[in-house]
Amino acid sequence: MKLSYQGIQDKQGYAAAQVALPQYDWAKMAEKTAEKPVWVHFGAGNIFRGFIAGLQQRLLNAGLAESGIVAAETFDYDIIDKIYVPHDSMTLMVSLKADGSTQKEVIASIAKGIKANCADEAQWQQLTDVFTAPTLQMASFTITEKGYALRNMKGELMPVVVSDMENGPKQAHHAMAVVAAMLYARYQAGAMPIAMVSMDNCSHNGEKLRASVMEIVAAWVKNGLVPADFEAYVNDEARVSFPWSMIDKITPRPAEIIEKQLMDAGFEDMQPVITSRNTYIAPFVNAEVPQYLVVEDRFPNGRPALDKAGVYLCDRKTVNDTERMKVTTCLNPLHTALAVYGCLLGYTSIAAEMKDAELVKLVKTIGYKEGLPVVTDPGIISPKAFIDEVVEQRLPNPFIPDTPQRIATDTSQKVGIRFGETIKSYMASDTLNPANLTAIPLALAGWIRYLIGVDDNGAPMNVSSDPLLSTLQAALEGVTLGQPDSVDGKLEGILGNASIFGVSLYTAGLADKVTADVKELLAGPGAVRATLKKHLA
């Protein structure tokens, strides 16, 4: 069987393979989209194909939409040529359930994929035609947080951005310049309203998108490349809105085991491709079942009926509260605790860690006992139910091949949000005392113990990349497993650093506790396990 418009006419074959098919005609939908586009999406990768496109499929299946989504790719044109074109922009979606079973569906809601490449005249014109359509209601984005950045690590504008600012809308290469150029085309066609919706997994994502687009527009105005009135158009929230959103769905790279299952079921051409830009992508997408998308409801030209597809639409504060609930209490702190202790205890799978009694007790204590008393409740999702799902279904799912080593990356940039916010809430409370916390200090001590690069057996261990790694390891030089007192005088600069933890752990009254935990973890081989057992008994 083939994955294409022609291929899905083999309804019997698809039924035998237990793959659900779209309940609408793809060719008619594609025609309707060309006539009256409603939704364009930047970032043609897996989270879009495996989550966002599925939302529009629900609406098409239910007769609540007639047109599909136009996918635009600004970074990796191979995705369009090697994945979209051969399969008529269709995706074989494989949902990975926690019990090991799978659910399969052909997602056909993407009408076409376009290369957002100003050097390719025909493709650029196609994208411009979409942006100048009065019917267009939204442009959404999953281009990763890096996609919005105009500057390098030193804070200097990247060369591509400098040249885009000098050359104007016809020579736009950086994703943000492409977006600004398309908004300029829409402005010239009558300054029609539109919502620009970032769906990337970073807080205040709408603000990041808006700031980057506005910076390019301002440079074009300054350089006399566009009229000042264009800047006023993009700056007018009643005409061009930048809603915030919160997204959550683990979508790992295509798994070999799934590829094999699909080939055994009779599918051809399922093998992944590695593009020239190092994207690992296949005709199928595998992802967990739970998914959340919370979007600020500001759409000046109307919107698809996303609320009928399971999207939460609300005000900005609720989006922010939901993000805060996830990142500071219900998911991310649990992930980081599992990451550092998983590495120390020799695990290479998050799911396998969830069979470890001490580690399960650690994350449950961080989430339920220490996190929930100060959680931000967004009102639309129950924080307790969210943690229940994380602990019972999401983290233990053996089909989600996530590793503690991956999650341990950049931990110095994460602990301030993931643990520091809870510590600050305890400090601000009249009834709670940070001194009563046990699992959070243990997680922080575990991270410091992890930085030494020696596992619980005493063997050398790779430490994941982190912008502060060399600074932190230099401060910990001479700290040795089996010599707990070797940390004396070495932790003050780290534990007192509010830019790492969000607050000085001395001010919070936790520094002594974390220091004592670090010493216990350093007692000798096996001390990590012994310390967890002792504190979580």
Give the list of residues 6+ apart from residue 199 with CB closer than 8 angstroms, or none: 47, 52, 140, 141, 142, 205, 245, 247, 293, 295
| Chosen domain end from 281, 314, 347 | 314
Question: Cβ–Cβ contacts within 10 Å for residue 285, how many?
Answer: 26
191 lies in some domain: yes
Q: How far from each other are the two terminal CA atoms of the chain, in whole angstroms?
A: 55
Rounded Cα gap, residues 184 and 215, in angstroms:
14
Rounded Cα gap, residues 432 and 436, in angstroms:
8
CATH number reported for the structural domain that contains residue 483 in this entry: 1.10.1040.10
Longest dimension (CA), the chain: 73
218 lies in some domain: yes
CA 274 to chain CA mean position, Å: 21
98 and 133 co-located in one domain: yes
Of the candidates 206, 179, 149, the residue with the CA atom closest to the CA atom of residue 42: 179
234 and 381 co-located in one domain: no
309 and 381 co-located in one domain: no
Please count the residues of the chain.
537
- What is the predicted pLDDT for the residue at 252? 87
Q: Digits of tens for pLDDT over the chain (537 positions)?
A: 999 999 999 999 999 999 999 999 999 999 999 999 999 999 999 999 999 999 999 999 999 999 999 999 999 999 999 999 999 999 999 999 988 899 999 999 999 999 999 999 999 999 999 999 999 999 999 999 999 999 988 899 999 999 999 999 999 999 999 999 999 999 999 999 999 999 999 999 999 999 999 999 999 999 999 999 999 999 999 999 999 999 999 998 899 999 999 999 999 999 999 999 889 999 999 999 999 999 999 999 999 999 999 999 999 999 999 999 999 999 999 999 999 999 999 999 999 999 999 999 999 999 999 999 999 999 999 999 999 999 999 999 988 878 999 999 999 999 999 999 999 999 999 999 999 999 999 999 999 999 999 999 999 999 999 999 999 999 999 999 999 999 999 999 999 999 999 999 999 999 999 999 999 999 999 999 999 999 998
Report residue 250 as tokens: 């683990």
CATH number reported for the structural domain that contains residue 213 in this entry: 3.40.50.720
Rounded Cα gap, residues 353 and 407, in angstroms:
13
59 and 106 co-located in one domain: yes
1 lies in some domain: no
Q: Is residue 214 within 8 Å of residue 234, measured between CB atoms?
A: yes
349 and 485 co-located in one domain: yes
What does the CA dihedral 419, 423, 428, 431 come to, rounded to 10 degrees? Answer: 120
280 and 337 co-located in one domain: no
| Chosen domain end from 283, 314, 345 | 314
137 and 37 co-located in one domain: yes
123 lies in some domain: yes
How many domains in the chain? 2
Give the list of residues 6+ apart from residue 72 with CB closer than 8 angstroms, or none: 40, 41, 42, 44, 113, 114, 115, 116, 127
406 and 291 co-located in one domain: no
496 lies in some domain: yes
Residue with tokens 């085309």: 185
144 and 166 co-located in one domain: yes
Rounded Cα gap, residues 456 and 270, in angstroms:
41
67 and 124 co-located in one domain: yes
| Chosen domain end from 287, 314, 341 | 314
319 lies in some domain: no
Read off the amino acid at residue 339: A
SS (H, E, C) 2-47: CCCCCHHHCHHHHHHCCEECCCCCHHHHHHHHHHCCCEEEECCCHH
pTM: 0.93
Rounded Cα gap, residues 184 and 132, in angstroms:
9
Read off the amino acid at residue 158: M
150 lies in some domain: yes
Distances (CA, A) of 140 to 136, 241, 323, 382, 425: 11, 12, 18, 27, 34
Could you tell me the residue range of the domain that residue 457 belongs to?
Answer: 325-535
Q: Which helix (H) or strand (E) holds 500?
A: helix 498-501
Report residue 525 as tokens: 């081989």
252 and 359 co-located in one domain: no
By CB atoms closer than 10 A (0-12, 13-18, 19+), residue 478 is exposed
145 and 11 co-located in one domain: yes
Rounded Cα gap, residues 219 and 88, in angstroms:
39
70 lies in some domain: yes
Rounded Cα gap, residues 142 and 201, in angstroms:
8
Give the list of residues 6+ apart from residue 236 with CB closer than 8 angstroms, or none: none
- What is the predicted pLDDT for the residue at 236? 99
- What is the predicted pLDDT for the residue at 292? 98
